[in-house]
Amino acid sequence: MTLSRPKQFGFQSVSTSARAASFIAACAVALVSGTPYLYSTYANQLTTKLALTALQSNVVAAGVHYGLFLSGPLFGRLVDSRGPKFVGTFAAGLLATGYSGLAVTYSGFFYSFGFLTAFLFLILVGMGSQAGYMTAVSTNAHNFHSARGLAMSIPIALFGLSALLFAQINNLFYKDDTQAFMFLVAKAIGGTILISVLFLTVFPKDDQKSSLDPEAVIATANQLGSDEIISHDAEEHRRNVGERERLLQTTPTSYSNIPSTEPVVVHHPLSGFKLFATTRVAMTLFISILLLAGPGLMYMTNAGNVIRSIYRDHMEDPSIPPTDEELIRLQQLQNYHVSLISLCSCLGRFSVGMMSDLGKRGSGKWWGISRIGFLVYAGVCVWLGQTFGANINDINDLAKVSILVGLGYGSVFGVAPTIVSEWFGVSFFGTNWGWISIGNAIGGQFFNVIFGYLYDLEAQQEHTLECFGTECFHTSFVLGTVSSFLGVGLLIYLAITTRRT
């Protein structure tokens, strides 16, 4: 007699405690890996210590985003082929080395090479963060099926919460000692990840053929033009999975809409460059993320500069160096806004993952909202944040910018990875998401350079390294508004063309 075992999150339970331990470990890795967004808490201190211009500060900040997003395909491929333990160990080493090196750079050890070494060590921080992110998210993407949006959104949300955690530690214990804070971050991250990887496990799949969402298969196949490409998983769904057939019969589109006379069957999931060469939806998603993430990263990286410009502009004589009391107040404002961005990013990442699961449930029986629909919502938040930023006049008005940008940016990365896993399968999820997330690095670098250039240009007119007033960043926010508006437009187009995905 065969006894049926309970199912948990869409697959049979091998060991409840082992699965719980793996899930908690993945969450712990994610929680300490999201420190690239912590940069604004020490940006002004690092800039002052190394005597950097705004453009140089943005180039240094870009290092962490280069490392974070350009290494996505590498660590995605490694986590797919070597597993999470291997990549997690890499993450611990890279992050500990990066922050330790940054602390040594801050001390002045490298003298005139401080600009270069800060840039290089922040690249290591970014790479370590990407390795930790891929370790956590890919583990849950492989282990959870029916509630994948929720299962993936939790570590993704904690990744966004990382900056809040360390910003509060900085605010409470390290207000006046940036170097000691950096060493603490290095030790805390390295130790947490090394302990967590001991419990990470990718469990065997009981249903290898259920890795693709059937509705997403249809949407992707419909985007392939005359050369229809139907994955092996989609064929198996059509032939063998009765429940998925039942769901498909309740939707306006079914597998019968896909030409079945001479399909080109691909026996391996699409990945890498083939993904972009074969499907228009992949490239459209890539460009949309580029247009939305660029302005979002611009504000998150330069929040410290924006705060300093507004705060100093309201002083009687901005050209006079700030007092110790004013510096402490500036640090508190930086920590507050970094924490606010981080908290809203976390809420966006978690809530949009959970809601997108509910939105798709029952083929529209609940809300009937596609995951792309939630991505449109995320884009609107970023657009509104940029619009408010372009019209800000007072430091108290900056909170709504931090809330909207944090919420929108977090929501983008709360639902986009799930879309990638469902459209193109989990077998190469790490690789595919790594390639698509490169759009973040490109957009972020472009807008960070624009912000730094315009800031320095305005500062030159004031004959100082610093810029005071809203003129320092107004044009940058206007460009961000235009970019995010175009990104929302592309997502609406994607939502219309893919329909129920």
Q: What is the DSSP string of 174-193?
A: -TT-HHHHHHHHHHHHHHHH
Lowest mean pLDDT among 131-135, 398-402, 432-436: 432-436
**Structure tokens belonging to residue 452:** 């730094």
pTM: 0.67
237 and 290 part of one domain: no
The verdict on residue 482 lying in a domain is yes
The verdict on residue 247 lying in a domain is yes
Residue 12: its pLDDT value, please? 44
The verdict on residue 8 lying in a domain is no
The amino acid at 121: F
Q: Which domain holds residue 239?
A: 212-268
222 and 350 part of one domain: no
More confident residue, 247 or 89: 89
249 and 157 part of one domain: no
User: Dihedral (C-alpha) 311, 314, 316, 320: value to the nearest 10 degrees?
Assistant: 30
Residue 401: its pLDDT value, please? 92
pLDDT in tens, 367-407: 556 778 888 889 999 999 999 999 888 888 889 999 999 99
CB 410 within 8 A of CB 298: no
293 and 323 part of one domain: yes
376 and 414 part of one domain: yes
**Structure tokens belonging to residue 205:** 């799949």
299 and 241 part of one domain: no
Within 13 A of 309's CA, how many CA atoms are on the CB side?
27
The amino acid at 399: A
Q: What is the mean pLDDT of residues 319-337?
A: 76
Final residue in a domain of this structure, among 268, 288, 310 = 268
233 and 366 part of one domain: no
92 and 179 part of one domain: yes
* 250: number of Cβ within 10 Å: 11
The verdict on residue 399 lying in a domain is yes
112 and 20 part of one domain: yes
pLDDT in tens, 246-293: 323 333 333 334 333 333 333 455 555 666 666 678 888 889 989 998
Q: Is the dihedral of CA 207, 212, 215, 217 positive or negative?
A: negative
The verdict on residue 6 lying in a domain is no
The verdict on residue 190 lying in a domain is yes
The verdict on residue 10 lying in a domain is no
Residue 5 pLDDT > 50, yes or no? no
Rounded to 5°, the CA angle 445-451-453 comes to: 100
66 and 102 part of one domain: yes
CB 119 within 8 A of CB 60: yes
The verdict on residue 9 lying in a domain is no
224 and 346 part of one domain: no
Final residue in a domain of this structure, among 227, 250, 268 = 268
Residue 126 pLDDT > 60, yes or no? yes
Mean pLDDT of the chain: 74
pLDDT in tens, 229-259: 334 444 434 433 333 333 233 333 333 343 3
E-state strands within 101-145 = none
Number of domains in the chain: 2
CATH number, domain containing residue 325: 1.20.1250.20
CB 86 within 8 A of CB 135: no
249 and 397 part of one domain: no
Final residue in a domain of this structure, among 268, 287, 315 = 268
Write the Ramachandran bin of 259: left for phi over 0, alpha for psi from -120 to 50, otherwise beta: beta
Lowest mean pLDDT among 78-82, 330-334, 459-463, 497-501: 497-501
